[in-house]
Amino acid sequence: MMSEITAYLIGAGGVVAGIIAGTLFQKMRKAAASQLATKIREDAEKEAAHIQREAKVTAKAELMKIRDEFEEELNERRKEQFAIEKRLNQREETLQRKADVLDEKIVHLERKEKEIEGLRERLSNREKDLQQNISKQIDELERIALMDRESAKEILLDKLKNEVKNESGILVRDVLEEAKEKAERESRRILTYAIQRYASDCTYERTTATIPLPNDEMKGRIIGREGRNIRALEAATGVSILIDDTPEAVVISCFDPIRKEVARQLLERLINDGRIHPTRIEELTQKIAKEIEDNIFSTGENAVLEAGIQGVPPQIIKILGRLKYRYSFSQNVLQHSLETAYFMGMIAAELRLDEHKAKRIGLFHDIGKAVDHELEGSHAKLGADILRKHGEAEDVIHAVAAHHEEIDATSIYDTLINACDTLSASRPGARSATTEIYLKRLEQLEAIAHDFKGVESCFALQAGREIRVVVNPEAISEGESQMLAKEICERIEKEMNYPGQIKITIIRETRSVEYAK
């Protein structure tokens, strides 16, 4: 029991001792914290005082720096203002000097105006005096010459007109000769180059087709009993078959070259086969017509490929192929179109134009001849209508329509197609011409030249490619002869159709004759 009490007492004493020790520890801890807080506050106050001193120093330095910069900027502004004031003063002085000079000039001009006004008045008075003197002199001249003023004016104007006409004719002649020389040299070079690069065989026109027969008995078989075979032939092909006294031959006549070709092949096959009757004629006609249609398209396609043209509609190719059977003055129109396309392409390349467009125009320029026997109008207009219908470019259509000058030329291609068409048609051997055409051309040329005043005689030479005109030297002066040649040339171009060109030569000869006695 005693030990338990002792234990309790010891325990209680320990607890009390612990409480006392804790209380003492808390007091000691508070004292230490108080000292630490005091020290921290003192250190903070010292740091704040230090920062405050440094801030004052920094602020003072910044203030000094700002003050220095402000004073420096202020000095720069003062310098600039001083310079501006100096320039303004100088400009003011300059303007003042200019104003003084202008004032002097104004005074000088006013003085000059007064002098000019006085001079104008003196000139006006002088002009009046001169007019009076001229009137007196004119009256005196009229009295002496027994001629009024209007008559003298007419004589003087006629004389001046003749002199001016003579001088202008000489000037026009010199200018034209110089221009012609340059143009001929350049055009000769280009055309020669084009011709050298292209040459084709000559072709000959066949207005009718003559079919040889093995014997005259074949004529009877072609006619048939009561003429049924020949009627069937003409009805199936649309041609006229002429059977006359010509031995061992029959003649086919037709304006349509395709029908004529169908009839020619039909007769040849019937003659070779020997079976001639209406049924056989109808069968062969259909077969040959189909073969020729296929050949036409193939020919047109080959022509387009040969010319190097792309994007041509099949309808145009077919119409173009029909030109294989069309001739003009013995020249095959398809071959002529290809020639013209080559010439157009080569000359366009020399002139740095669109070569593809030029070839296209050249190939299509005579396409209207494929249908000119079926429709009304010129082949140039018909060709333009065909191309327009199938969506061709407008400049190509216009060139085709203008290649015979039926409408005005608006581009260089219009003029170029005219030249290349003539070049292909008029080259030696390209076309044949009859004596009747030559004589008609000669008569027309001489008739045109004889219509002009002062012409004594004229002579057409070289199958109508040159005309020499002899004029009266007293009626036509040297300058007027050049104008006469130009007028004759313009009338020939307006009234005549001809291939190539016609040379007009004016001959003016003055003869002085005296007799020694």
Same domain, 322 and 444: no
- Give the pLDDT of residue 203: 38
Q: Which of 426, 446, 477 is the last residue of a domain?
A: 426
- Give the pLDDT of residue 199: 46
- Give the pLDDT of residue 160: 63
Q: Where is pLDDT greater, at 154 or 102?
A: 102
Same domain, 324 and 383: yes
Q: What is the CATH number of the domain that holds 487?
A: 3.30.300.30
> 272-328: per-residue pLDDT in tens?
888 888 888 888 888 988 988 888 899 889 988 988 888 889 899 888 888 888 877
- Give the pLDDT of residue 153: 66
Distance CA 403, CA 307 (A): 19
Does residue 83 sit within a domain? Answer: no
Instruction: Give the mean model confidence (pLDDT) for residues 390-418.
Output: 87
Same domain, 468 and 338: no
Does residue 448 sit within a domain? Answer: yes
Cβ within 8 Å of residue 194, ≥6 positions away: 342, 343, 346, 347, 350, 423
Same domain, 220 and 278: yes
- Give the pLDDT of residue 10: 74
Distance CA 340, CA 419 (A): 9
Q: Is the predicted pLDDT of residue 330 greater than 80, yes or no? A: no
Q: Is the predicted pLDDT of residue 116 greater than 70, yes or no? A: yes
Cβ within 8 Å of residue 330, ≥6 positions away: 202, 203, 204, 205, 431, 432
Q: What is the CATH number of the domain that holds 326?
A: 1.10.3210
Q: Which of 402, 426, 450 is the last residue of a domain?
A: 426
> 459-513: per-residue pLDDT in tens?
887 667 788 898 888 888 877 888 888 888 888 888 887 666 788 888 887 766 6
Does residue 240 sit within a domain? Answer: yes
Same domain, 219 and 303: yes
- Give the pLDDT of residue 351: 82
For strands 466-471 and 503-508, give the pairing. parallel
- Give the pLDDT of residue 486: 86
Same domain, 164 and 273: no
- Mean pLDDT (the chain) is 80
Chain centre to alpha carbon of residue 139? 63
Q: Which of 138, 157, 191 is the last residue of a domain?
A: 191
Same domain, 417 and 325: yes
Q: Is the predicted pLDDT of residue 205 greater than 50, yes or no? A: no
- Give the pLDDT of residue 224: 84
Q: Is the predicted pLDDT of residue 434 greater than 60, yes or no? A: no
* 230 within 8 A of 243, measured Cβ to Cβ: yes
If we measure between CA atoms, which residue out of 329, 400, 317, 326 comes closest to residue 362?
400
Q: Is the predicted pLDDT of residue 339 greater than 70, yes or no? A: yes
Does residue 58 sit within a domain? Answer: no
Does residue 117 sit within a domain? Answer: no
Q: What phi and psi, each to the nearest 5 degrees, are found at residue 507?
A: -110, 120
Instruction: Give the mean model confidence (pLDDT) for residues 30-57.
Output: 83
Does residue 73 sit within a domain? Answer: no
Same domain, 306 and 363: yes
- Give the pLDDT of residue 242: 83
Does residue 295 sit within a domain? Answer: yes
Range of the domain at 447: 435-508
What tokens appear for 333 in the block? 């129109």
* 507 within 8 A of 468, measured Cβ to Cβ: yes
Distance CA 15, CA 31 (A): 24
Q: Cα-atom radius of gyration of the chain, to the nearest Å?
A: 57
* 417 within 8 A of 362, measured Cβ to Cβ: yes
3-state SS class at 288: helix
Q: Is the predicted pLDDT of residue 166 greater than 70, yes or no? A: no
* 496 within 8 A of 460, measured Cβ to Cβ: no
End-to-end CA distance of the chain: 212
Does residue 109 sit within a domain? Answer: no
- Range with top average pLDDT, 205-214, 344-353, 388-397: 388-397
Instruction: Give the mean model confidence (pLDDT) for residues 96-123.
Output: 87
In the chain, the number of structural domains is: 3
Same domain, 237 and 295: yes
If we measure between CA atoms, which residue out of 423, 399, 425 comes closest to residue 412?
399
Query: Of 297-306, 389-398, 413-422, which range is least confident?
Result: 413-422
* 235 within 8 A of 182, measured Cβ to Cβ: no
What tokens appear for 144 in the block? 């002496």
Same domain, 217 and 174: no
- Give the pLDDT of residue 202: 40
Q: How confident is the model at residue 241 (pLDDT cuts 50, 70, 90)?
A: confident
Q: List the strands of the sheet with 208-212, edge to edge.
A: 208-212, 249-253, 240-242
Q: Where is pLDDT greater, at 431 or 390?
A: 390
- Give the pLDDT of residue 204: 38
Same domain, 289 and 339: yes
Same domain, 397 and 262: yes
